[in-house]
Amino acid sequence: MATLLKTLDAPDAASQELERWIEATQNKSLLRFITCGSVDDGKSTLIGRLLYDSKLLFEDQLSALASDSKKQGTQGEELDFALLVDGLSAEREQGITIDVAYRFFATDKRKFIVADTPGHEQYTRNMVTGASTADAAVILIDARKGILTQTRRHSFLAQLIGIRHLVLAVNKMDLVGYGQSTFDRIVAQYGEFARQAGIDEFTAIPVSGLNGDNITSRSPAMPWYGGPGLLEHLENLPVGGAGSAEPFRMAVQWVSRPSHNFRGYAGRIASGRVGVGDAIKILPAGRKTFVERIVTSDGDLDHAVAGQSITVTLTDEIDCSRGDVIVAADNQTEPVSRITASLVWMSDEKLVPHRSYWLKVGTQTVSASVDLVDSIVDVNTLAARAGEPLCLNDIGQVEIDLDRPVPAVRYRENRKLGGFILIDKMSHATVAAGLIKDLPANAVRQPSGVSAFDDIVWVTGPGRTTWAAAAVARLKAQGRQPVLIDDAAVAVFPGDDPVRTAREVALLVTSAGVPALITVQALPGETHPGRVIDSSKSEDGGDEWVI
Amino acid sequence: MNAPVGFKTRSLNHLEQLEAESIEIFREVVAETERPVMLYSIGKDSAVMLHLAKKAFFPAPLPFPLLHVDTSWKFQDMYALRDKVAAEPGIELLVYRNPEAERLGINPFDHGPLHTDMWKTEGLKQALDKYGFDAAFGGARRDEEKSRAKERVFSFRDRNHRWEPKSQRPELWSLYNAKKGPKESIRVFPLSNWTELDIWQYIYGEGIEIVPLYLSAPRPTVERDGVLLMVDDERFPLEAGEAPVERSVRFRTLGCYPLTGAIESEATTLAAVIQEMLVATTSERQGRVIDKDGGAASMEKKKQEGYF
Ligand SMILES: Nc1nc2c(ncn2[C@@H]2O[C@H](COP(=O)(O)OP(=O)(O)O)[C@@H](O)[C@H]2O)c(=O)[nH]1
C-alpha cells in the first residue's frame, strides 16, 4: 500500500501498481492469535492500536472512530483506540454470554485474526475456545504490577491448548519511565516460572499500547531494547507448513456420489500431504487402497497439503463413509474405545459421570461416558485436587469410554483430530472441550450399539405395577432417581401412541443418565430399546440389571 | 485457488485458508443437517458464498437450493444476475415473496421500516417454514461491525426463529455442534472470518461475476437528503421539479434500490474500486503531514481525487 500511494500522481502507472499490489497481497499468510489479559491491563487499547496502525481501514470506520472518540473517548482530542474493539459491554450488561470476539487486520505481509476473550468470570472457557485455533498468544502484563497469578493462568492454558508461540507484552512501559530494569526483572521472573511450567520458549517485548511504543515500529524511548516491535514479531512468526511434515491424515466429511461412476471422499487434510498413487488406509476398518485422483473444481491436483479442502477418489470400491479417517497405509494408529483426556468443562451443569454424552472428534460423533475423573487442576494455583465433580471452568484429567472404536490421535500430535467436544444429549449444548492425552493399551471394545439402552427396562406380566414400584424404591435406596413411565404418565400425551410415547420418553431420560422403568403394556415381539423383564417370573431380578 | 501442480510442502496463503475453511463449513452442514438452503441475496458476499459452495461439492451439483427472499424492489441488474445464476445447470433457485406484503403493496416509499420488516424479516421466516429448511447459509461477516465480532459461525434459532443468546455454543477448533431439537434451525455463516478486503481480493483473483452496479457507470440519479438514489424503474415517484440527472456512480452494498445510496466515483474496474475504498494507515500518517502542509483544504482535495 505504501508503494501504491506514491504513484497516485500518474494514473496509468497507478493502476498497474495497484494490480501488482493486489497480486502481491493475494499471497499473504494468515496468523491467528489470542490476547490474554485482565481488565485494565490495556488489552483493548493494544488491539485497537494494532487495528488502527496496520489494518487497511475503510473510510467509514475511520470517521466513525474519530466521532466516537470525541463523544465517548477517554483520551480528550486524541483517538481512543479502545473504542475500535468495544461492542461487548452492552451484551455483558444484558447477561448474554460472550465467549470470544474476533477482530481482523492485515499488513502487506500477513492477515491477522485476533481472538479477544473478555472478562475473567468465564475466563477458562473463553480462553480455551479462543486459543483452540490460535497459533500464538500475546500475554499482557502491566509493567507496574509484574507477573501475577493470572499471568501464570494464561500461560498454563496457552500451553495446555498447544499454542506454539508465547509473546509476553510488558505493557504501560511509559508508566515506569521506560526503564530497562523493570522489564528485565519481569522477564527474569517469568523465565523462572516458564522453566517450572515446562514452557520452552517465549518472547518478551516492552510496549506502551497507549503511546504506540514498540507496536508497529521500534520505540525511540527504549533504545536499550534491541528486539522487534510487537507487530514485526507477529509478522515473522512461522505459520503453517509444520503440518505438512506429519503423517497424512484426513477425516472424511462427506461422500460425493453425483453419478454411478464417481465416488469421492471429501474432507480437509488435518496433517501431512497426499499424492496421487499414494497407498492409504481407511480407519477404523483398516482396509488399504490407493489414491486415484485429487479432485478440485480448479482441476485435479498431483498433491495436496495440510489445510486444504479436497475430494479424493480411490482405486478400489471399498467401504468408506463420514467419520472414517484416511491415513497413509503405513500408519500404525489402532482404533480405541477408551481414551484419557484433559477435559475443560464449559457448562453451568456439572459433569455427570457415566451419563451418556455425544462426543464429536474429527467428523465422527459417538456415544461416550466419562468413567473416571482422576484429578482436577485448580487453574488459579495450578495444583491438582481430587474427588470433586467437574464444574464450569474446571479442567479435569479423565478417562472416557466410547461406544465404538475410533482412530483417536493424541492432541499433542494433531490438534485437529486430537481435540473433541462433548455434547449434552438432551439440551444439545456443547458442555466440554477435550484434549486426547493417551490411548490406554487394550482399549478396544466391540461396538455395543445400545449402551444408553441398558438403563431402560420394560416390565411386563400381571404384577408389573407392584414390581415396578418395588424396583423404583430399590433404585432410590441406591441413590438413583429412576423415572417410572406408566399408563398415567403417557396419558399426558393424549392421541399419541402410548408405546411410542413411552419409548421416546425413556430414551430421553436415559440419555441424561436417568434409569427408566416402563409399565405400559407393549405387544410381545415389538422391538424396543432396553430389556424386558417379566415380573411374574423374576420376582427379584431387579438387582441383576441395576447398574 | 489454483494450486501449483506438483508442489512439495508449502503453506496456504490467507485466501486459500479462508476458502478451505469455508468449504469445510459447507460440507459439515450438508452432512449434519437434513434440509439446508443458501440465502442468496445477489450481492458480492452471496456471489462469493455461491462460488465457495460450488467448489465444496464439485463435481456434484449443489446439494441444496438457493433461496432469494425477494422484496420486488431490487435493482433490475440484480434480477438479471439472479436469473442468469438460476439458469445455470445444477442450480435450483427458489424465490419467495411474502404474499401479505404483495397484497398490501408494501413499498419503501410509503411504508418506511415496515417494508424491510414484512418483505425481508417476515418473508424469510415464512419461506423457511414453508420449505422446512433446518439450516440456512448466510453471507454475514464478523468484520461488518463491532457487534458482529463475537457472532458464532453456527447460530441457533428456536422454533419461532428467535435467537436464544443463552443457547449459543462455544466453537472450538473446527468442531461444529450441529445437534438440534425438532423445528429448531441454524443460521450458518461460512464467511465469518472474511473481511471486506478479502471478499474483493477473492472476487478479483477468482474472476467471480458480480452485479455491474458495483462498478461506476453513468446512471440516472436524484439527490434526496444528501443521498444519491438511482431511478431504476418507472415506479420511482419523482417530486415536482425533480428530474433524474446522469451521474457516474457505483454502489458499495446492494439492496432495494430506493433504499440504497450511490456514491459518485470514477472507478470502472474492480482494482479501482478496491483502491477507492482503502485507506491505508500509511496514507493516514502521510495525510497528517499533508494536512500540516496545506491545511484541511488540501486533504479535502486529495479525497476528491480518490485518495481515500
Ligand atoms: N499509561 C498507559 N496507559 C495505558 C496503556 N494501555 C492502556 N492504558 C490505559 O489503561 C486503561 C485500561 O485500558 P483498556 O485498553 O481499556 O484495558 P482492558 O480492560 O485490558 O481492555 C485505560 O485507561 C487506558 O488508557 C499504556 O500503554 N500506558
Contact at CB, A132 and B173, closer than 8 angstroms: yes
At residue A512, φ and ψ (nearest 5 deg) are -95, 10
CA distance A307 to A414: 12
Q: Which of B276, B204, B291, B147 is nearest to A59 (CA)?
A: B276
**Exposure of B244 by Cβ count < 10 A (0-12 exposed, 13-18 middle, 19+ buried)?**
middle
Kindly report, residue by residue over A155-208, the tens digit of the pLDDT.
Answer: 999 999 999 899 999 999 999 999 999 999 999 999 999 998 889 899 999 999
Calculate mean pLDDT across residues B135-141: 95
Residue A56: predicted pLDDT = 55
Contact indicator for A264, A313 with CB cutoff of 8 Å: yes
Residue, of A325 and A125, whose pLDDT is higher: A325
**Exposure of A94 by Cβ count < 10 A (0-12 exposed, 13-18 middle, 19+ buried)?**
exposed
Cell 487495528 sits on residue:
A51
Residue A297: predicted pLDDT = 93
Kindly report, residue by residue over A443-468, the tens digit of the pLDDT.
Answer: 554 443 333 345 777 777 777 777 78
Residue A457: predicted pLDDT = 78
User: Per-residue confidence at B100, pLDDT binned at 50, 70, 90?
Assistant: very high
Give one DSSP letter per residue of A185-199, joined into a string: HHHHHHHHHHHHHT-
Mean pLDDT of chain A: 82
Residue A387: predicted pLDDT = 72
Q: B283 pLDDT exceeds 70?
A: no
Interface pTM, i.e. ipTM: 0.87
Calculate mean pLDDT across residues A9-29: 70
Q: A534 pLDDT exceeds 70?
A: no
**Is the peptide bond prior to B59 cis by the omega test (within 30 degrees of 0)?**
yes
Kindly report, residue by residue over A398-423, the tens digit of the pLDDT.
Answer: 999 999 999 999 999 999 999 999 99
Dihedral sign, Cα of residue A272, residue A136, residue A35, residue A235: negative
Chain B residues closer than 8 Å to A133 by CB: 172-174
Calculate mean pLDDT across residues A481-487: 84
Q: Which of residues 401-430 of A touch B (CB under 8 A)?
A: 415-416, 419-421, 423, 427-430
Cell digits for A528? 424396543
Cell 476528491 sits on residue:
B304
Q: Pocket of ligand 1, candidates A35, A45, A140: which has the most ligand atoms within 8 Å of its Cβ, to mutate? A: A45
Residue B191: predicted pLDDT = 97
Residue A454: predicted pLDDT = 56
Given the CA of residue A175, which atom of ligand 1 is nearest to it? 1
Contact indicator for B68, B42 with CB cutoff of 8 Å: yes
Instruction: Provide the 3-class DSSP secondary structure of residue B289.
Output: helix
User: Per-residue confidence at A146, pLDDT binned at 50, 70, 90?
Assistant: very high
Chain B residues closer than 8 Å to A2 by CB: 280, 282
Neighbours of A10 (CB within 10 A): 11
Residue A531: predicted pLDDT = 63
User: Per-residue confidence at A309, pLDDT binned at 50, 70, 90?
Assistant: very high
Mutation for A interface: B141, B150, B185, B298, most A CBs within 10 A: B150
Residue A85: predicted pLDDT = 67
Residue B10: predicted pLDDT = 67
User: Per-residue confidence at A546, pLDDT binned at 50, 70, 90?
Assistant: very low
- A542 CB contacts (<8 Å, ≥6 apart)? A470, A471, A474, A533
- A354 CB contacts (<8 Å, ≥6 apart)? A369, A370, A371, A513
Buried/exposed code over A212-235 (b: 16+ C-beta within 10 A; e: otherwise): bbbbbebbebbeebeebbbbbbbb
Determine the Cα angle at A92 with ends A88 and A95, to 5°: 145
Contact indicator for A52, A82 with CB cutoff of 8 Å: no
Distances from the Cα of B166 to the Cα of A348, A429, B1, B192, angstroms: 11, 10, 38, 20
Cell digits for B77? 441488474
Q: B55 pLDDT exceeds 90?
A: yes
Q: A249 pLDDT exceeds 50?
A: yes
Q: Nearest-CA residue of chain B relative to A17? A: B271
Cell digits for A158? 496457552
Contact indicator for B196, B141 with CB cutoff of 8 Å: yes
User: Per-residue confidence at B296, pLDDT binned at 50, 70, 90?
Assistant: very low
Q: Within 13 A of A440's CA, how many CA atoms are on the CB side? A: 14
User: Per-residue confidence at A89, pLDDT binned at 50, 70, 90?
Assistant: low
Q: A58 pLDDT exceeds 90?
A: no
Residue A450: predicted pLDDT = 34
Percent of chain B with pLDDT over 90: 68
Calculate mean pLDDT across residues B278-301: 36
Give this prediction's pTM: 0.82
Q: Which of residues 251-290 of B touch A (CB under 8 A)?
A: 269, 271-272, 274-275, 277-284, 286
Residue B244: predicted pLDDT = 95
At residue A83, φ and ψ (nearest 5 deg) are -70, -20
User: Per-residue confidence at B112, pLDDT binned at 50, 70, 90?
Assistant: confident
CA distance A543 to A529: 19
How close is the Cα of A50 to the center of ligand 1, in Å?
A: 14
CA distance A230 to A107: 13
User: Per-residue confidence at B272, pLDDT binned at 50, 70, 90?
Assistant: confident
Q: What is the number of residues in chain A?
A: 547
Residue B275: predicted pLDDT = 79
Q: A266 pLDDT exceeds 90?
A: yes
Determine the Cα angle at A117 with ends B139 and A133, to 5°: 65
Mutation for A interface: B155, B175, B276, most A CBs within 10 A: B175
CA distance A45 to A171: 10
Tell me how far the alpha carbon of residue A301 is from its chain's centroid: 30
Residue, of A98 and A154, whose pLDDT is higher: A154
User: Per-residue confidence at A540, pLDDT binned at 50, 70, 90?
Assistant: very low
Q: B199 pLDDT exceeds 90?
A: yes
Contact indicator for A79, B300 with CB cutoff of 8 Å: no
Residue A361: predicted pLDDT = 97
Kindly report, residue by residue over B208-267, the tens digit of the pLDDT.
Answer: 999 999 999 999 999 988 899 999 999 999 988 889 999 999 998 899 999 999 999 999
**Is the peptide bond prior to B113 cis by the omega test (within 30 degrees of 0)?**
no
B132: left (phi over 0), alpha (psi -120 to 50) or beta: left
Contact at CB, A129 and B278, closer than 8 angstroms: no
Q: B148 pLDDT exceeds 90?
A: no
The greatest distance separating any two alpha carbons of chain A, rounded to the nearest whole angstrom, comes to 98
Mutation for B interface: A29, A78, A111, most B CBs within 10 A: A111
